[in-house]
A and B are shown apart, each in its own frame.
Chain A
Amino acid sequence: MSKLLVSPSPHIHSKDSTKSLMLDVVIALIPAVVCSVVFYGWQELMVLGVSVASCVLLEWAITKYMLKKPSTIGDLSAVVTGILLALNVPYTTPWWVVFVGAVVAVGVAKMTFGGLGQNIWNPALVGRVFLLVSFPTYMTTWSKPQGLFGVDAVSGPTPLGAIQEGLMQGSTVQELTSAYDYKDLLFANLGGSAGEVCALALLAGFVYLCCRKVIKPWITLSIFATVALTSLIFWGVNPARFTDPLFNLLTGGLVLGACFMATDYVTSPMSVWGGVVFGVGIGFLTVMIRYFGSYPEGVSFAILIMNSVVPLLNMWFKQKKFGRK
Chain B
Amino acid sequence: MSKHTFSIGGVHPHDNKISRECALEQLPLAPTVYIGVSQHIGAPSVPCVAVGDKVKVGQVIAEPGGFVGAFIHSSVSGTVKSIAPRADLAGRATTHIEIAVEGDEWLEGIDTSDTLITTIPDDAKAIIDKIRLGGVVGLGGATFPTHVKLSPPPGSKCERVIINGCECEPYLTSDFRTLLEKGEQVVVGAALLQKAMGGVPCTIAIEENKPEAIAHIREVIAKLGYKDMEVMVMKMMYPQGGEKQLIDAVMHRQVGSGALPISVGAVVQNVATALAVYDAVQKGRPIVDNSVTVTGECFPRQANLLVRVGTPLKYIIDYLGGIPADAAKIISGGPMMGRAVANLDAATVKGTGALLFLTEKQTRRAPETHCIRCGKCADACPMGLEPFLLNKLSKNADWEACEANAAQDCIECGCCLYSCPAHIPLLDNIRVGKGFALSAIRARAAAAKAAAEAAKK
Residues of A within 8 A of B (CB): 1, 4-14, 16-18, 20-21, 72, 75, 77, 114-118, 265-266, 270-271, 318-324
Query: Shortest beta-carbon distance, B29 to chain A, in Å?
Result: 26
Does B249 touch A at the CB level, under 8 Å? no
Does B196 touch A at the CB level, under 8 Å? no
Give 18 pairs: A residue, B residue, CB < 8 Å, sorted on A. A1-B323, A4-B340, A9-B331, A11-B336, A11-B358, A14-B11, A14-B418, A72-B369, A116-B372, A265-B374, A266-B372, A271-B375, A319-B384, A321-B383, A322-B248, A322-B384, A322-B409, A323-B255
Out of A10, A266, A270, A320, name the residue touching B414 (CB < 8 Å).
A10
Out of B256, B326, B339, name the residue touching A323 (CB < 8 Å).
B256
Q: How far is the CA of A79 from the CA of B252 in the complex (A)?
A: 46
Q: How far is the CA of A322 from the CA of B256 in the complex (A)?
A: 7
The answer to whether A16 touches B421, judged by C-beta atoms less than 8 angstroms apart, is: yes
Within 8 A of A (CB), among B374-391: 374-376, 378, 381-386
Instruction: List residues of chain B with CB within 8 A of the CB of A319.
Output: 8, 378, 381, 384, 386
Instruction: List residues of chain B with CB within 8 A of the CB of A114.
Output: 370
- What's the interface size class on B, roughly? 35 or more
The answer to whether B257 touches A324, judged by C-beta atoms less than 8 angstroms apart, is: yes
The answer to whether B8 touches A322, judged by C-beta atoms less than 8 angstroms apart, is: yes
Q: How far is the CA of A241 from the CA of B91 in the complex (A)?
A: 78
Q: How far is the CA of A266 from the CA of B421 in the complex (A)?
A: 13
Q: Which of B56-64, B68-76, B96-104, B359-367 contacts A (4 or more CB under 8 A)?
A: B359-367
Q: Is the interface of B mostly helix, strand, loop or mixed?
A: loop
Out of B254, B328, B381, name the residue touching A5 (CB < 8 Å).
B328
Add 15 more A-B contacts to A266-B373, A322-B382 (CB < 8 A): A1-B326, A4-B342, A8-B340, A9-B331, A9-B337, A9-B427, A11-B335, A13-B417, A16-B419, A20-B421, A72-B370, A117-B372, A321-B385, A322-B409, A324-B257
Closest residue of chain A to B264, judged by CB?
A323
Q: Could you mark each residue 317-349 of chain B with 1 if its beta carbon is under 8 Å from any beta carbon of chain A, else 0?
A: 000000111111111000111111110100000
The answer to whether B385 touches A116, judged by C-beta atoms less than 8 angstroms apart, is: no
Q: Could you mark each residue 405-422 of chain B with 1 if its beta carbon is under 8 Å from any beta carbon of chain A, else 0?
A: 010010010100111011
Out of B360, B371, B376, name the residue touching A16 (CB < 8 Å).
B376
The answer to whether A320 touches B384, judged by C-beta atoms less than 8 angstroms apart, is: yes
Within 8 A of A (CB), among B389-441: 406, 409, 412, 414, 417-419, 421-423, 427-428, 431
Instruction: List residues of chain B with CB within 8 A of the CB of A8.
Output: 340, 427-428, 431
Does B451 touch A at the CB level, under 8 Å? no
Q: How far is the CA of A320 from the CA of B406 in the complex (A)?
A: 12
The answer to whether A323 touches B257, judged by C-beta atoms less than 8 angstroms apart, is: yes
Does B13 touch A at the CB level, under 8 Å? yes
Query: Shortest beta-carbon distance, B296 to chain A, in Å?
Result: 11
Instruction: List residues of chain A with CB within 8 A of the CB of B376.
Output: 16
Does B201 touch A at the CB level, under 8 Å? no
Out of A6, A14, A318, name the residue touching B340 (CB < 8 Å).
A6
